[in-house]
Amino acid sequence: MHTTTPHPHPWHGRTVLVTGAEGFIGSALVDLLVARGARVRAFVHYKPYAEKGHLAHHLGPGSAVEMLAGDVRDAGRVSDAVQGCDTVFHLAALIGIPYSYDSPGAYVQTNVTGTENVAEACRRHGVRRLVHTSTSEVYGTAITAPISESHPLQPQSPYSASKIGADMMALSFHHAFELPVTVVRPFNTYGPRQSARAVIPTILAQLHSGAREIKLGSVTPTRDFTYVTDTAEGFLAASECDRALGHVLNLGTGTEISVGDLARELITASGRDARVVVDPARLRPAGSEVERLLSDNSRARDWAGWQPQVPLPEGLRRTSDWVAGHLHLFAPDRYQV
């Protein structure tokens, strides 16, 4: 009987660097890469205290994950991390909009200078592909919708300004030095492990703590929510897409929901009973609120073959179950910046 040898997965045996690997999206990407057979070098922010974080389940003898502590602001450490890697996924960033009002300089140092350090290291060591992480926040409030990659960039917060700078730095290395770089621009990613500063875990933590009133900032903005495993798959698809070199790919579902309607969906997903109230402490400065984000994902779909798989109600249910089992990680009565 004739048998054919199955082809190994394209990630099998590759050495891949993920910066920001302990983060919400980064850890999901590490999980996916390990499942596909990659050897992952996880570049994580150095912490002097004992905390295993989202990659704890990968630690131990024989693991395909090598943890490397460092800081993207340290060019030498970044260069050491990149050396010998086939593909680099750059997710490390200072995130969160409210804190960027207090400390804009820190965002420039980590997000812009950090990205330059990563791009320079990739250039020096000749990596096959750099995938740089952007954010839909760079678009600001939609001028036209759905938002394509050619939509104007609007720095409505120091955070978004720093990410615009980081994106331009990454793309400049493609134009100036022919670095094989692609920028992925996730819209609002959600799912298990997301921190309390994001709207979905904020609402769920309140619900599962028994709150009868859900405190929110503005309830009218709309967002395009993508489940975290779909976002991670988008990173892999982008890294294999030659047409995307020197370009940006939006990773979003192409559907939108208001924050108020989202809260009602979460009340349903959690099986709880509550009503929504606006908390003035949670409102953004008037000129800084992004009112509408809706993705045009046709480029990622047509060029890279990426298609989100997890519908919003299913993703919200999975996230609700995770938050319910990890309530100790949240302080639902306190506004998390």
Q: Determine whether 190 is an active site residue.
A: no
Query: What does the block give as tokens for 80?
Result: 């050491």
Q: Select which of 159, 190, 227, 335 is catalytic.
A: 159
Q: Where are the alpha helices (DSSP H) in the chain?
A: 24-35, 75-82, 97-102, 104-107, 114-125, 158-177, 199-208, 228-239, 259-270, 298-304, 312-325
CB within 8 Å of 261: residues ≥ 6 apart: none
β-partners of residue 233 are: none
The CA distances from residue 324 to 65, 112, 201, 314, 316, in Å, are 28, 36, 10, 15, 12
Residue 201 Cα to chain centre, angstroms: 15
Q: Is the dihedral of CA 237, 242, 243, 249 positive or negative?
A: positive
E strand or H helix at 49 = none
Helices (H), 83-227: 97-102, 104-107, 114-125, 158-177, 199-208
Strands 257-258 and 222-223: antiparallel
Distance (Å, rounded) from C-alpha 166 to C-alpha 163?
A: 5
d(C-alpha 265, C-alpha 253), whole Å: 17
Query: In this structure, are strands 248-251 and 181-186 parallel, antiparallel, or unpaired?
Result: parallel
Quickly tell me which residue has 């010998």 as its tokens: 84
- Tell me the three-class secondary structure of 197-248, residue by residue: CCHHHHHHHHHHCCCCEEEECCCCCEECEEEHHHHHHHHHHHHCCHHHCCCE
Question: Letter for the amino acid at 18?
Answer: V
Active site members = 159
